[in-house]
Amino acid sequence: MAPTDLAKLDQVKQRAWFYRFPLPDGTITHSDVPDRILEIHASRARHLRRIIEQKVVKSAAKTAIDFSSHEGFFSIELAKHFGAVRGFEIRAESLAAARLITDVLGVTNIQYVQADLQQLSFDATLCADFVLVYGLLYHMEDPIHVLRLASKLSLQHILIETQVFPFDIAGRIEDGCYDNLRRVEGVFGLAPDYPQGREGGSTELALIPSLNALLFLLKQFGFAEVEVLPAEIDDYEQFRRGSRVIVYGRKEAGLTES
């Protein structure tokens, strides 16, 4: 390796990461996340690869977006399958880490962009075939805006991983008078968040969707096929208990959200 490359590799090794990245010299990055929690990344990556293999035709000729790209772990995974990847991330330190590890690993088809996804407006020039929304919605004060934006940016596929409110609530709620009722399609649980933290959202509040709310919104936002991926025996324990879910959505060709 060139001296510059060795210097960057040394920077990577001196840093505590949220993920464990395999490095060119055969070592892995140091993570400050406990081993039992790191299992979540393996589960996420395994389901992501399987969805791409099963659902995306000729992915190498297509594009992908990574919502909340963090240190670039899943952007780098997407880059193995898609021709071009764009990662959106709010934190400057996470962007710097992502660019560093991407450079060290020699990945050249990722562009990282700093953005607050709760404030970002739709731009048709940013649309991609596949949109990944991993570990994000349950940190958002405005998850509906973020999900609507992700859905509009998706030309066909979306894959979402999120913790969910533990109860699916449905029924009727009064609107104006007792005999004028609207159907309840789910709920959001209000929780404090931690914008000062490395993995927190951009505000101090978060609304965590129930599963039926998430499924309803995806259908409302134009996805004709919506599938909750079944948990597997070797998945991270939250997936097995249903506290965390992965949901895939697909639009019909040419179908966009109104």
In angstroms, rounded to a whole number, what is the distance separating the alpha carbons of residues 29 and 12? 7
**Contact of 221 with 147, CB cutoff 8 Å:** yes
Q: How does 137-161 read in b/e, with b if 16+ C-beta sit within 10 Å?
A: bbbbbbbbebbbbbbbbbbbbbbbb
Res 258: pLDDT: 37
Instruction: Kindly state the DSSP code that residue 90 receives in the 8-state scheme.
Output: S
- Fold for the domain defined by 3-167+214-250: Rossmann fold (3.40.50)
Please, what sign has the CA dihedral across residues 215, 220, 223, 224? Answer: positive
Which of these, 8, 43, 24, lies nearest to 239 by C-alpha position? 43
Res 197: pLDDT: 87
In angstroms, rounded to a whole number, what is the distance separating the alpha carbons of residues 103 and 195? 27
Q: What is the pLDDT of residues 22-38, one digit of tens each?
A: 999 999 999 999 999 99
- The encoded tokens of residue 254 equal 């040419």
3-state secondary structure of 188: strand
Q: What is the pLDDT of residues 185-216, one digit of tens each?
A: 999 999 999 999 888 999 999 999 999 999 99
3-state secondary structure of 31: strand
Res 6: pLDDT: 85
Q: Report the half-sphere exposure of 63 (CA within 13 A, side-chain side).
A: 13
Please, what sign has the CA dihedral across residues 80, 85, 87, 92? Answer: positive
Beta bridge partners of 228: 247
Res 257: pLDDT: 43
Res 29: pLDDT: 96
112 to each of 89, 115, 132, how far by Cα in Å? 7, 10, 14
**Contact of 109 with 61, CB cutoff 8 Å:** no
Res 255: pLDDT: 46
Collect the ranges in the chain with pLDDT lower than 50.
254-258
Res 105: pLDDT: 96
* CB-based burial label for 65 (10 Å; 0-12, 13-18, 19+): buried
In angstroms, rounded to a whole number, what is the distance separating the alpha carbons of residues 201 and 194? 7
Q: Report the half-sphere exposure of 201 (CA within 13 A, side-chain side).
A: 23
DSSP per residue, 56-74: -TTGGGSEEEEES-TTSHH
Strand segments, DSSP code E, in 80-127 are: 84-89, 110-114
